[in-house]
Amino acid sequence: MMRRYRNILLIVFLVLFSSELFAAESAHPGLVLAKAPIDRSDMESIKRGATFFATNCMSCHTLIYLRYNKLAQDAGITYEKMPINVKTWPYGITPPDLSLETEVRGVDWIYTYLHSFYQDPSRPTGANNLLVPNSAMPAILAPYQGAQVLAQQVSPHGVFFDNVEWYDLLTLQKQGSMTPEEFDASVTDLVNFLAYAAEPYHNDQTRLGWWVLGFLVIMFVLMYLLKQEYWKDIKKK
Ligand code: HEC
């Protein structure tokens, strides 16, 4: 008997905490992930993110599971405005499909990744990344963000750090076409769009969830009154 309860408890525990385990695994040890300030109900932000993604990312990354019909319905963006556009990629590692990226890595991970590219002439792409050391992705956003370099305190023999944010380690050498605030906002839109691409029914589900909870509360009250009614006479005897 105890054994069965133990197994059930174990399953409940695993279901509750499995996503936490995966999230912890994918972060670079020592680097604190910056919180992505996304608002998943902000459709204008998702729209801006989609446009930004189409112009800057779709020459390398696909979004094969993107629900174009849902995107057209919610944001008015059709396949013609965001066609799959991938050309051949010369640097060895094929750029991964990003349609489920926020589910795999989490929004904070992607937000931090896109912020933490820095110049590194020793790399074939001319850039490196704090979260993915020796990343094969070039610093695509550098024209907007500006050129970042590793700060002085980092050892020249490798990147050693503990419990720091990306901006503690990188300095902006020369600002790009955006101010840091504008850049943060653009990356937020981008991550918001990727979260939408991975789970386009998130907002509908949240809305439905409140209706279901409301229904359960009303049912509870009705059932309680019904129970009182049934037991009224029995209790008296
Ligand atoms: C020139 C091609 C190219 C462009 C353009 C590009 N990427 Fe990448 N990206 C790559 C490659 C290659 C990798 C794999 C890096 C590695 O694992 O070393 C990658 C990796 C990634 C990853 C990490 C995947 C993972 O889980 O490890 C994310 C997130 C990402 N790209 C987002 C973007 C976004 C957002 C844009 C547009 C702003 C973009 N990329 C534009 C080539 C590109």
For residue 26, name the pLDDT band (cuts at 50, 70, 90). Answer: very low
Amino acid at position 135, single letter: S
What is the distance in A from the centroid of ligand 1 to the CA of 127? 12
In whole numbers, what is the pLDDT of the chain averaged over residues? Answer: 87
Length, in residues, of the chain: 237
Residues with CB under 6 A from ligand 1: 56-57, 59-61, 91, 93, 95-96, 98, 101, 105, 110, 113-114, 132, 135-138, 140-141, 190
Say if CB 67 and CB 163 are below 8 A apart.
Answer: no
What is the distance in A from the centroid of ligand 1 to the CA of 98? 8
What is the reported pLDDT for 6?
78
Q: How many CA atoms lie within 13 A of 162 on its CB side?
A: 0
- Tokens describing residue 88: 């051949």
Q: Indicate whether 86 pLDDT > 90.
A: no
What is the distance in A from the centroid of ligand 1 to the CA of 110? 10
What is the reported pLDDT for 147?
94
What is the reported pLDDT for 28?
56
What is the reported pLDDT for 1?
57
- Tokens describing residue 134: 């020796």
- Tokens describing residue 66: 């993107």
pLDDT, mean of residues 198-220:
96
For residue 25, name the pLDDT band (cuts at 50, 70, 90). Answer: very low
What is the distance in A from the centroid of ligand 1 to the CA of 163? 25
Say if CB 116 and CB 159 are below 8 A apart.
Answer: no
Cα(121)–Cα(71) distance, rounded to whole angstroms? 40
Say if CB 195 and CB 110 are below 8 A apart.
Answer: no
